[in-house]
Chain A
Amino acid sequence: MPVSGIVVTCSSASVDTVALELAKQDGIEVHGVLPEGRIVAVVEADTVDAEVELVSGLEEIEGVVSVQLAYHNFEEL
């Protein structure tokens, strides 16, 4: 059950809408919105593949510039 910490960079205009969009998704918890359009979130999924799919999908969200992986826990929980 992998857990990741991610940083989503958005255009400053869309940061709030993106944050809302993220919060709606299963397996994503928004932990903070920072100046310069950056959102810190935690992603959980059942498998690494599911997690990869989830995170890749985020880059499709309108207003998202990039998604950066900052932390990944590999422990079997």
Chain B
Amino acid sequence: MGLTRRDFIKASAAAAAFAAVGAPMLRPEGAEAAEAGITWGKAPCRYCGVGCSVLVGVKDGKIVTTKGDPAGPVNKGLNCIKGYFLSKALYGKDRLTKPLIRKGNKMVEATWDEALDLIASKYRQAVSQHGPDSVAMYGSGQWTVQEGYVASKLMKGGIGTNNLEPNARLCMASAVVGFMNTFGSDEPMGCYDDLDLGDTYILWGANMAEAHPVLFSRLIDNKLKHPKVRLIDIATRKTRTTKMADEYIPMRPHGDLAALNGIIHVILRDKLYDESFIREHISFKRGKENAPYGLKDKEAFNETPADVKGLSFDEYKQLMKLFTPQWAESVSGIPAGKIEELARIYSDKSRKVNSLWTMGVNQHSRGVWVNNLIYNLHLLTGKICKPGENPLSLTGQPSACGTAREVGTFAHRLPADMVVMNEAHRKKTAGIWGIDPGKISPKVGLHTVELFRAIERDEIKCIWIQCTNPFQSLPNLSRVRKAAQARKAFIVVSDIYPTRTTELADVILPSASWVEKEGVYGNTERRTQQWFKMIDPPGEAKEDTWQLIQFARRMGLGHLFPYSEKGMHREIWEEYRKFTIGTGKDLAPYQAYTKVRGLRWPIKPDGSETRWRYTDLDDQNVKKGEGIKFYKAPGNKANVWFRPYEPPAESPDKAYPFWFSTGRLLEHWHTGTMTGRVPELKRAVPGATIELHPEDAKRLGIKNRDLVRITSRRGSVVLPAEINGRGTPEKGSVFAAFFDENRLINELCIDAFDPLSKEPDFKKCAVKVKKA
């Protein structure tokens, strides 16, 4: 050929530029030859909230390979095996390629125009007959920033309803409310560097080894390098995380609420707190108690400013006298001596203590309270906002932070921590969106569990689900599925594969996935990562942003999305970015992200990233000499909340004597729609199992691999038993992961939720177990 690799690349670069302006005819010489080689582009991994960076190798318009990006600071070229097989995730045989419209029991192929016209007519009809709150959208922490932003502007600024929810309601909502009511701003003050720099790590109900694989690898390396490092695994189930921890502290489900109060009690009793830190940086608060569990439809519970009482430090200490270590032991199962020891660890001035948590704490009917209590430990001891010493809320999804939380695709939110209930926030939002502020409804929309119940009550006429699988993942699943099957609501689903959700749709739209569209994701540590479109989606599939804008045009809302066809993603970003300037969550101009493997906000005036928030060490919103300053909290003081113990929604009893919990494992992502179509991952873990404690199994006459029937008050599932496998529940508990579309585990789960965050408790309900 006579062309070098460099020539190939240059020809390909030119070809891409020509394509970007829609001029395919003018192909420079050698472009065909360029296609013969592999060209590489950067992207964040499609899967978890760790946010590893990958390089995607494309040849002849197809992803042929991926590799961990050696230049990615998060992972330095490593991936877990989900990431390793990214090149296969998009190429399952049954990729959706055409719009489909339900006709009776069949889904019939249609054109985009037919599908979009139908959707628009249904939405228009619903809005005109029943008002804007009769329609809804359910999106995702796996949406790109652009997709979430357009959805938010469309629903809140266009249609005028706040019935927009992300699946992140089921994963990070408790963490969000915990951040907001403690610090006045969402997202961690620390970052992954804390995993390298600290020496004490306390995990609260987090199976990091399987849920945050590469991050766990990084944490363990700290341990290997520094003998002082200690990892304590406080959990209700022995996992692979337990295996590598220095200590395992078994805890009864829901016991975190008691244990944390016990630890705080000791810190106060023995004066292990940092008095000057408290004086400078803390306010004490007491909120609303005797909260419900969301089991009654439309049960309203809010903690308004009127419900909140300020406390003096003395009053707080007095209230905390209740929660003795002995009491904590009786509730949590953690011995009183261990509670005392944990208090000493948390206040140890010679140690840099970090707390890590995800779903064990968040998917909890008092999850916000548990988040608050964990922050209390760090705030009372002053162990926060220091390199190597922070509470770090780990995020589950790749862009629950970047999209759902930062863009604010929730029923009560607007971008950059703003809320619909606040007039000034609505005004600012309307200003940037170019609309009348009166268009944005001040009425909080329906949160996820209530949204799907509203479908049952025929109050939601239309719902559009994108990039998520609620008819496999919602709790009390049979109830939710039945409501959908009643065919009262008009259900639109945009996805890339047939799922347990598309099977209940009236219209199925084929979506572009990951690098089939340009996009931005934001991970756990506030790292925003951008990628370019690298391949075309298959068939007639289109990116969700396009779908939403085409729909908007048909709703007479096209003027809200005046973006050019080719520059759309950058233009959306630059508009969205305006919300963040000067808020302490500042984002950089789009171009900056195209060059690097992400940047952690807030972005400084010189364009560099911030690793630690609220400290003059790094956050430029804090002047030198000010030390630590919680500048987003009222009065610059973080809140230490008094949060008592309240029991779980449903506990084991005579009829249903076991605890049931669900979660993830390393090989499969969420509901398994992508990883289940990667042959190697399917081969590795073909189906879900039910984990039992060996003594329970023996008592019930259940051997490894025997089929077992698990029944709750809401549903029943049959699964093969797994005994002495990768996870061992405590006695009286069982566990099954939710990735298996043939075993709808979530039919067992209870739709009780945290009253403040509205996040369901997937970790606790009561079941009975017997050999099938």
Contacts and interface: CB of A to CB of B under 8 A. Distances in A.
Direct contact of A and B (CB under 8 A): yes
B595 A73 contact: no
B16 A5 contact: yes
B17 interface: yes
Interface stretch (B5-13, B122-130, B276-284): B5-13
Given A32-B26, A48-B595, A71-B532, A77 B6 contact: yes
B10 A7 contact: no
B39 interface: yes
Given A5-B16, A38-B21, A75 B40 contact: yes
Given A38-B21, A40-B21, A69-B594, A77 B28 contact: no
Nearest to A56: B591
Given A69-B594, A74-B40, A74-B55, A34 B13 contact: no
Given A3-B6, A73-B39, A42 B20 contact: no
B14 interface: yes
A68 B571 CA distance: 11
Interface in B633-651: none
A57 B595 CA distance: 16
A4 interface: yes
A31 B17 contact: yes
Q: Say which size band chain A's interface belongs to.
A: 20 to 34
Interface string A18-51: 0000000000010110100010111010001001
A73 B14 contact: no
A31 B19 CA distance: 13
A73 B13 contact: yes
A61 interface: no
A28 to B, nearest CB: 11
B595 A52 contact: yes
| Most interface-central of B5, B6, B42, B570 (chain A CB within 10 A) | B6
B227 interface: no
A71 B532 CA distance: 7
B486 interface: no
Contacts of B10: 3, 29, 42, 44
Contacts of A7: 17, 20-21
Interface in B617-667: none
A32 B20 CA distance: 13
B84 interface: no
> A-side binding surface: helix, strand, loop or mixed?
strand
A70 interface: yes
Interface string B20-45: 11010010100000000001111000
Nearest to B17: A5
Contact of B594 (A3, A42, A72): A72
A6 interface: yes
Interface residues of B, number: 32
Contacts of A44: 10
Given A3-B13, A4-B13, A40-B17, A74 B23 contact: no
Given A72-B532, A74-B42, A40 B591 contact: no
Nearest to B26: A32
Contacts of B566: 68
A34 B14 contact: no
Nearest to A40: B17
A7 B40 CA distance: 20
B592 to A, nearest CB: 9
Nearest to A55: B591
22 contacts: A5-B16, A7-B20, A29-B14, A31-B17, A34-B21, A34-B23, A38-B21, A40-B21, A40-B26, A42-B10, A42-B14, A44-B10, A48-B595, A68-B570, A70-B16, A71-B12, A71-B16, A71-B20, A72-B532, A74-B71, A75-B55, A77-B5
Given A5-B13, A31-B26, A70-B532, 14 more contacts: A5-B15, A6-B17, A7-B17, A31-B18, A34-B21, A34-B23, A40-B18, A40-B23, A48-B596, A68-B567, A68-B570, A70-B20, A72-B594, A73-B41
Interface of B: 5-6, 9-10, 12-21, 23, 26, 28, 39-42, 55, 69, 71, 532, 566-567, 570, 591, 594-596
